[in-house]
């Protein structure tokens, strides 16, 4: 349920404390120097795998491609059944039915982007129809995009109302709200958009569509983690965070986990509260996992290309 937001949205959002870009960058860079070795690395890799939203969002997506990826989501490393499943498979709405069939009984979540992803430049009716179609086809999670145009034009009410409307349309499905931080540009905007989405009822706030550069960055994710941390302290409701796009290596993924641990806290170190939106990341995580287990470096031919 959306919370009531005091006063005018604009006054509220612009009353949030500012964000100093250099200070955030310094903090993120400092945390990026955390050295995660041996047992810590092992648990981090498995945790990261279990947090992956394995994603394919291409115009060229086909049922075959989606089925292959679903198989990988369930059992990422065919050679090693101890590797955990990923958190969810993330596809376009028209692929949801195929994915739902392929994932049936696996316990792996099924996320669908919706609301005219990635630009979101459609009418509210179309966005709602997009959402309900995906939910009806079996999506357990909806990744919506906010109206960045409205946000940048200062029409915060429009952005807020759209989120609440989509949330209502989601029914039992979890709602991830994509801020597309690469288009919001400033850290102050990221903080305001985060709080807007939180108050509007988001279950997750997500950095990016992956279609705009820059996608996820450590500083932006740090600000969003601060937002969910502070929002829970203020309201008691916990909301998840999902950086997406540009996270390709195990090193990247572990840096995000360090951020989660030290900014939001251990409560968020769970696939229910933190996701990594990625596609190629999974193979690197698997390769590093094998390296830790066997002591030998692996090669790409030993991991599936899907």
Partner 1 sequence: MTDTFPRIAVRRTYKLYVGGAFPRSESGRSYPVTSSAGDHLANAALASRKDVRDAVVAARKAFLGWSGRTAYNRGQILYRVAEMMEGRRSQFAEEVGAAEGVGKARAQALVSAAVDRWVYYAGWADKFGQLLGGANPVSGPYFNLSEPEPTGVVGILAPTGSSLLGLVSVLAPVLTSGNTAVLVASEDAPLPAITLAEALATSDLPAGAANILTGRLSELAAPLAGHADVNALDLAGAGGLAAELEALAATTLKRVRRPGGDDWDDTDPGLSRIKPFLEIKTVWHPIGR
Partner 2 sequence: MEIFEYAPAPESRAIVSIRPSYDLFIDGEFVESKSDERLVTVNPADEEPLAEVAVADDADVDRAFAAARRAFEQVWSRLPGAERGKYLFRIARVIQERARELAVLESLDNGKPIKETRDVDLPLAAAHFFYYAGWADKLAHAGLGTRPLGVAAQVIPWNFPLLMLAWKVAPALATGNTVVLKPAETTPLTALAFAEICQEAGLPPGVVNIVTGAGATGRAVVAHPGADKVAFTGSTEVGREIARAVAGTDKRVTLELGGKGANIVYDDAAIDQAVEGIVTGIFFNQGHVCCAGSRLLVQESIADELLARLRARIERLRLGDPLDKNTDIGAVNSAAQLARIRELAAAGQAEGATGWSPACPLPERGYWFPPTVFTGVTQAHRIAREEIFGPVLSVLTFRTPEEAVAKANNTPYGLSAGVWTEKGSLMLWTASRLRAGVVWSNTFNVFDPASPFGGYKESGYGREGGRHGLEAYLD
Applying CB under 8 A, the residues found at the interface with partner 2 are 17-20, 22-24, 26-27, 33-41, 43-44, 46-47, 50, 84, 226, 257, 261-262, 266, 269
Integer Cα distance of 279 and 21 in angstroms: 29
Site string for partner 1, 239-268 (x = CB under 8 A): ------------------------------
Of the candidates 130, 143, 203, 284, the residue annotated as catalytic is: 143
For residue 214, cis peptide bond before it (omega within 30 degrees of 0): yes
Residue holding tokens 């030998």? 296
What is the total residue count of the chain?
A: 306
Q: How far is the CB of 34 from partner 2 (least distance, A)?
A: 5
In contact, 244 and 278? CB cutoff 8 Å: yes
Binding site partner of 44, from partner 1, partner 2, none, Cβ cut-off 5-8 A by kind: partner 2
Query: Is the CA virtual torsion 212, 216, 218, 223 positive or negative?
Result: positive
Q: How far is the CB of 32 from partner 2 (least distance, A)?
A: 11
How many positions of this chain bind partner 1 (CB under 8 A)?
8
- Dihedral, CA of residue 160, residue 161, residue 165 and residue 168, to nearest 10: 60
Helix, coil or strand: residue 250: helix
Integer Cα distance of 173 and 203 in angstroms: 10
Does the protein bind partner 1 through residue 29 (CB under 8 A)? Answer: no
Does the protein bind partner 1 through residue 185 (CB under 8 A)? Answer: yes
Does the protein bind partner 1 through residue 21 (CB under 8 A)? Answer: yes
Nearer to partner 2, 97 or 260 (CB): 260
Q: How far is the CB of 168 from partner 1 (least distance, A)?
A: 35
Does the protein bind partner 1 through residue 214 (CB under 8 A)? Answer: no
Does the protein bind partner 1 through residue 23 (CB under 8 A)? Answer: yes
Q: How far is the CB of 147 from partner 1 (least distance, A)?
A: 22
Binding site partner of 18, from partner 2, partner 1, none, Cβ cut-off 5-8 A by kind: partner 2
Give Cβ neighbours of residue 26 (< 8 Å, ≥ 6 apart).
none
Exposed/middle/buried for 286, CB within 10 Å: 0-12, 13-18, 19+?
Answer: buried
DSSP 101: H
Site string for partner 1, 59-78 (x = CB under 8 A): --------------------
DSSP 84: P
Does the protein bind partner 1 through residue 25 (CB under 8 A)? Answer: yes
Does the protein bind partner 1 through residue 30 (CB under 8 A)? Answer: no
Nearer to partner 1, 126 or 185 (CB): 185
Nearest in space to 174 (alpha carbons), one of 222, 125, 242, 126: 242
- Strand 109-114 versus strand 276-278 pairing type: unpaired
Residue 143 among the catalytic residues:
yes
Nearest in space to 103 (alpha carbons), one of 131, 67, 65: 67
Integer Cα distance of 306 and 290 in angstroms: 19
Q: How far is the CB of 235 from partner 2 (least distance, A)?
A: 15
Nearer to partner 2, 4 or 38 (CB): 38
Residue holding tokens 């203020």? 234
Which window, 19-27, 69-77, 225-233, 288-296, contacts partner 1 (CB under 8 A)?
19-27
Contacts with partner 1 by CB under 8 A lie at: 20-23, 25, 185-187
Catalytic residue positions, numbered:
143, 206, 242
């Amino acid at each position: 349920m959306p919370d009531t937001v005091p006063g005018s949205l604009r006054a509220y959002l612009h009353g949030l404390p500012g964000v100093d870009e250099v200070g955030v960058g310094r903090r993120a860079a400092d945390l990026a120097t955390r050295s995660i070795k041996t047992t810590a690395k092992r648990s981090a890799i498995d945790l990261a795998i279990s947090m992956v939203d394995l994603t394919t969002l291409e115009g060229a997506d086909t049922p075959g491609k989606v089925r292959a990826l679903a198989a990988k989501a369930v059992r990422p490393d065919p050679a090693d059944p101890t590797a955990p499943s990923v958190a969810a498979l993330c596809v376009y709405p028209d692929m949801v039915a195929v994915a739902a069939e392929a994932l049936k009984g696996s316990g792996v979540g099924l996320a669908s982007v919706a609301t005219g992803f990635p630009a979101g430049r459609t009418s509210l009716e179309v966005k709602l129809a997009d959402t309900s179609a995906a939910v009806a086809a079996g999506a357990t999670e909806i990744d919506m995009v906010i109206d960045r145009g409205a946000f940048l034009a200062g029409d915060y009410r429009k952005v807020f109302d759209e989120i609440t409307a989509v949330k209502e349309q989601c029914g039992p499905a979890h709602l991830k709200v994509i801020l597309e931080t690469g288009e919001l540009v400033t850290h102050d905007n990221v903080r305001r958009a985060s709080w807007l989405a939180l108050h509007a009822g988001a279950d997750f706030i997500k950095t990016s569509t992956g279609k705009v550069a820059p996608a996820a960055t450590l500083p932006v994710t740090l600000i969003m983690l601060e937002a969910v941390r502070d929002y829970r302290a203020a309201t008691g409701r916990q909301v998840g965070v999902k950086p997406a796009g540009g996270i390709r290596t195990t090193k990247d993924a572990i840096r995000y986990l360090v951020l989660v641990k030290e900014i939001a806290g251990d409560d968020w170190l769970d696939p229910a509260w933190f996701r990594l939106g990625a596609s190629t990341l999974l193979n690197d995580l698997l390769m590093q996992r094998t390296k830790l287990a066997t002591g030998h470096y692996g090669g790409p031919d030993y991991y599936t290309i899907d």
